[in-house]
Structure 1
Amino acid sequence: MPQGGPFDKSAIRADVAPVAAQNESKLSLALKTADAPDAALEDRDIAKEVDAKLGTINDDNNSFQGLRPRRRSDEMSHSSYSDSDDDEAQDFEIPLEPENEENTSDYIPGGYHPAYIGEYYKGKRYKLVRKLGWGHFSTVWLAKDTEDNKHVAMKIVRSAKNYRETAIDEIKLLSKLNHTDPEHPGHQHLVKLLDYFDHQGENGVHICMVFEVLGENLLSLIRRYKHKGLPIKFVKQIAKQVLLAMDFLHRLCGIVHTDVKPENVLLELEDVEQIVQFLENAQKQRKEMLKRVHSTRVSSASLGDQTSPIDISASIDEANDFPRTMSRKGRLSRRQTLITGSQPLPSPLRSKSNSFFVSPLDTNQTLPGTTPFRGSVSNFDMEDLSDNHSRVLESLSSISISAEQRLHQWEPPKAEELADDDILRVKIADLGNACWIYNHFTDDVQTRQYRAPEVILGAQWGCSCDIWSVGCLIFELLTGDYLFDPTEGRSFSKNDDHLAQIVELLGPIPQELIAVSRNGKLFYHSDLQRLRRIKNLKPWPLQNVLMEKYKFSETDAHEITDFLSGMLVPDPKKRMDAAGLSNHYWLNDCNVEGYVDREVGTRGEDISGWYKEVRLHHHHR
């Protein structure tokens, strides 16, 4: 096997395919026909509703054209809605350095909106509370919905026309979810778009998208388990929920996600308001202490203390710089800077009959995997404040920063600590790369490690490519490693190595698929059996890998292989569909509610767009 074969984690997650430029809405392209099927007609009604609400922008600040951005979730950094590409990144610390934030040079007409804590949107309805993260496409904020009295996540999209059009496409896809059968058990496992609107700013008109608040993603959970795999119980629960969501997308909505991976599956937060209240209480305690320190030190200085009030104030201001604001050249005052430090909302889990949840009722509470909370106003008297300035400042940090880090640094529960009825709840997020079954925006889809063979070969693809990605995802949850992690060498490309790894694990790719693919002859000899640039393949079947490398028992390895083998079928036509897989016996004891009446083993025979794009009459790409 060439260097960097299966199970090597060295490749970078950001290896995603290039994208084509487009300047028209995906949906509008697909609907240029009078004979569109009923589903497309329904989608056209949704498109009209979205277009009417957002309208057309002709402002100069929004006129930048450029390439149509195909937003990848792995571009979104330091956010509870996505993750950094660096596998060595410290996910659980509050990013405070300028290099961890978006560039100030992107705060220009057509670029980011200079949002700030306390800013209102949609009149006085939404008030920004905390920056959660940022990406090439948008910044993401925690906001208070003053009308419904709850917290929400809000994406503020860059204002240039190409970003605006991409956001509108995503809103139409998300709106389809909202308009489709809410009784389907998969509906609850997809992120919910709550609102969207335009916001006029100094850099143009920005689309704002409002979502329910979710926690960290599965890549963060994989890292918490130190890449040694999650408890099988958790993996079964996640698998069932993801499959139900996929069935809802594929069969009911006519949507292909095209980017299923750990970064795009997020933990549900059982009580967002309690988490926010915990953080607010910690901050209030810290501010109260700062006031007392300041007043005490000023009094001491006036009585002859050698430390001046100015020195003390500077130290206090430094300690109180939370959340920090910054520029690329270093720290600036709040008025001067455009950038607020990102603080992803923590997602600590604790077991409590039926679900995992966080309940930080007050700042003195001990959360799982932490030591008791250190520091409160009552822990110091006024003599302490004047006698030991440095100790007080250190303790002040423990009141809010330590409290925050405790939430971020929780230890995940071990398998033996789980109760029978504990459930880890997840939702699939980020439809920024999704498409309609009747209009594939591009053929360059899926993140490398989760890319299906038909996509690598340049053959037709459809909903079943998502199922392949789900199989790769589940293996990664079980083991902590990629299933396929190709590299390039002097004489072969990543695509060559990827195909070789697939063949070694699963057997030959069907000659029929290679023959009808656009790039088959680039990778295979004329017999369509032998790879051109990689010889001497070393087969290592999946069940053997699970037992020999990852030390699963023979029974577990057999059952896992039986489950995954229905997804990891090289022929996209023969891949099992999500609803049938959700009823596989391996998931019988996962305790996740939700059932779709479909036999195990169905292979998308009745699902439109299962393995290829649906061509509408008179529709030309």
Structure 2
Amino acid sequence: MSTSVPTILDASERIEEETFRWYTPTRFYPVKLRDVFQSRYEVLSKLGYGSCSTAWLCRDLRKPKYVAVKVCISNYPSVERERAAYEHIRKIISSQPVGADVVRTSIDEFELSGAEGPHHCFVFEPLTLDLVHTREVLGDLFDESVFKVITVHVLRALDFLHTKARMVHGDIRAENFFLRGTDDAPCRSLEAMEREDPSPRKVDGDRVIYTNHRQIGYTDPRKYGVPVLCDFGEAYFGKETYEVEIQPFHYRAPEVILAIPWGVSADIWNVGLMLWELFQRQPLMTASDTDGSRPNVLNHLAEMIALMGLPPTTFLHRSPADVRGEVFDEDGQWLLHKSNPIPRLSLDQSEIALKGVGRDNTGFLRFMQRILQWEPEKRPTAAELLKDPWLAGVKVSSRLFPQERALVHTHVERT
């Protein structure tokens, strides 16, 4: 039964952003529901949180319309990179809009004063489910046909970034792609939900830590739009190659691991592993200790060798001698057979999403084999992958499902 009185959680319980081990209360801005930022943006409900920000559904009192506001921690180190990326994307969109529908940029920015310095805030269009929750919510509907539609739009986003914006995203993961809504019904629903059944929260002095109602969505999956690439805090542009560490650890490209200058092709490697994990519901490579407790770069390289064979010596010799010399000899042979043996691992044995339901997986495996290349220049571009035979016949539209498709045998629920 709904209630207008929120549940107050035990003050000793860590929730939401507090669960990060590096959490410092004074670095997160103490947002409260019904706050109004800049005499314009009224806070309606919490959308989510990350290691360096919280996100809120707000009403723009001037338009009026719904917006999403990302409130960064104070002294957030990636603010300037993220601001520059959005400004660059906006300029590109103004002159070359094709493909911009699958890349999100900010529509406003402002700062809030905090205990440890200013908190930069970005204002965006509100979106719905990220791709992780899309898979969970769609259940049996998340089949090969839907996955292909998602793949096409993910690649369209990268093609826009790489060819139009000349930008590397650097942090491709399913949590950074969100489905666009086709109307504001999910926002209206979330606002009503917060009003009628307020989210549980804890009170810590004058600070309130809210839980969120998970992500907003539709009861009819045919109303979902296509995925949009978000979060450009790790983006790089302005040069052809770079030499800093990027990417989620288990999606890290070989050239990044081996300290070889990298460019846009690193995103292609990254997106291939993200798509594999999204479809197969398990990562292709663990990139961790044998017990899975922590990242292990040596085991990660051993898994790559299992999948692709030994790296070409010409590629290895691009790596600094003190980096490659720890794991490969001058002939490119693996030196760590005892401490980090090459595992039994192959694409064919690891593929279960198609093979497990009696579907032909050869096209999908060929698609993945094109991506999984040691040498960055041998990986196809996003534009080339869009022409892959496995994706033939996929139509580009504004919706995840065709309106005429009958949706049966599903357990779609509103989150």
In which range does the TM-score fall when normalised by the shorter chain?
0.7 to 0.9
1:327 corresponds in structure 2 to: 203
What's the offset of the Cα at 1:242? 1.0
Query: Which among 148, 152, 173 is matched to residue 261 of structure 1?
Result: 173
2:351 corresponds in structure 1 to: 546
1:566 corresponds in structure 2 to: 370
Change (3 A) 1:541 1:159: closer
Q: CA-to-partner distance for each residue in 1:372-431, whole Å, 9 max, x for gaps?
A: xxxxxxxxxxxxxxxxxxxxxxxxxxxxxxxxxxxxxxxxxxxxxxxxxxxx51011111
| Structure number with higher strand proportion | 2
Query: Which among 377, 382, 386 is matched to residue 582 of structure 1?
Result: 386
Normalised by the length of structure 1, the TM-score is 0.56
Query: Which among 204, 212, 215 is matched to residue 343 of structure 1?
Result: 212
What's the offset of the Cα at 1:206? 2.4
2:30 corresponds in structure 1 to: 114
What's the offset of the Cα at 1:136? 3.4
Instruction: Give me the CA root mean square deviation.
Output: 3.2
Change (3 A) 1:439 1:527: closer
Q: CA-to-partner distance for each residue in 1:112-147, whole Å, 9 max, x for gaps?
A: 32221222222x211111122333322221111111
Do structure 1's residue 233 and structure 2's residue 148 form an aligned pair?
no
Do structure 1's residue 452 and structure 2's residue 236 form an aligned pair?
no
Distance 2:333 2:343 in 1: 15
Q: Does the aligned pair in 2 maintain the 1:467–1:577 contact within 8 Å?
A: yes
1:504 corresponds in structure 2 to: 306
Q: Does the aligned pair in 2 maintain the 1:107–1:203 contact within 8 Å?
A: no
2:158 corresponds in structure 1 to: 246
Q: Does the aligned pair in 1 maintain the 2:167–2:237 contact within 8 Å?
A: yes
Counterpart AA for 1:114 = P
Change (3 A) 1:278 1:107: same
Distance 2:353 2:217 in 1: 33
1:277 corresponds in structure 2 to: 188
Normalised by the length of structure 2, the TM-score is 0.81
Matches within 5 A, 1:69-468: 98-103=13-18, 106-108=24-26, 111-122=27-38, 124-160=39-75, 163=76, 166-181=78-93, 183-201=96-114, 204-224=117-137, 230-271=142-183, 273-281=184-192, 286=196, 322-327=198-203, 336-344=205-213, 346-351=215-220, 355-357=222-224, 425-438=226-239, 443-468=244-269
2:278 corresponds in structure 1 to: 477
Identity of paired residues, percent?
26
What's the offset of the Cα at 1:233? 1.0
Counterpart AA for 1:458 = A
What's the offset of the Cα at 1:349? 4.1
Change (3 A) 1:282 1:563: closer
Distance 1:572 1:558 in 2: 23
Q: Does the aligned pair in 1 maintain the 2:311–2:332 contact within 8 Å?
A: no
Change (3 A) 1:259 1:215: same
What's the offset of the Cα at 1:473? 1.5
Change (3 A) 1:234 1:250: same
Q: Does the aligned pair in 1 maintain the 2:172–2:247 contact within 8 Å?
A: yes
Distance 2:211 2:35 in 1: 16
Query: Which among 300, 303, 318 is matched to residue 516 of structure 1?
Result: 318
Q: Does the aligned pair in 2 maintain the 1:101–1:342 contact within 8 Å?
A: yes
1:543 is paired with a residue whose SS is helix
Q: Does the aligned pair in 1 maintain the 2:128–2:186 contact within 8 Å?
A: no
Unaligned runs of at least 5 residues, structure 2: 1-6, 399-415
Q: CA-to-partner distance for each residue in 1:206-261, whole Å, 9 max, x for gaps?
A: 221101111232222344477x9931111111111111111111121121111111
Counterpart AA for 1:486 = A
Distance 1:531 1:229 in 2: 46
Distance 1:431 1:96 in 2: 34
Do structure 1's residue 494 and structure 2's residue 407 form an aligned pair?
no
Change (3 A) 1:478 1:282: closer
What's the offset of the Cα at 1:191? 1.6
Distance 2:218 2:189 in 1: 15
Q: CA-to-partner distance for each residue in 1:483-531, whole Å, 9 max, x for gaps?
A: 11122259x9822211121121222222111122132111113321224
Counterpart AA for 1:119 = D
Q: Does the aligned pair in 1 maintain the 2:8–2:200 contact within 8 Å?
A: no
Change (3 A) 1:462 1:242: same
Q: Does the aligned pair in 1 maintain the 2:302–2:343 contact within 8 Å?
A: no
Change (3 A) 1:550 1:501: farther
Change (3 A) 1:432 1:493: closer
Distance 1:280 1:141 in 2: 11
Q: CA-to-partner distance for each residue in 1:51-82, whole Å, 9 max, x for gaps?
A: xxxxxxxxxxxxxxxxxxxxxxxxxxxxxxxx
Q: Does the aligned pair in 2 maintain the 1:479–1:550 contact within 8 Å?
A: no
Distance 2:354 2:326 in 1: 33
Unaligned runs of at least 5 residues, structure 1: 1-93, 287-319, 329-335, 358-423, 595-621
1:433 is paired with a residue whose SS is coil
What's the offset of the Cα at 1:539? 5.5
Change (3 A) 1:580 1:509: same
2:55 is paired with a residue whose SS is strand
2:393 is paired with a residue whose SS is coil
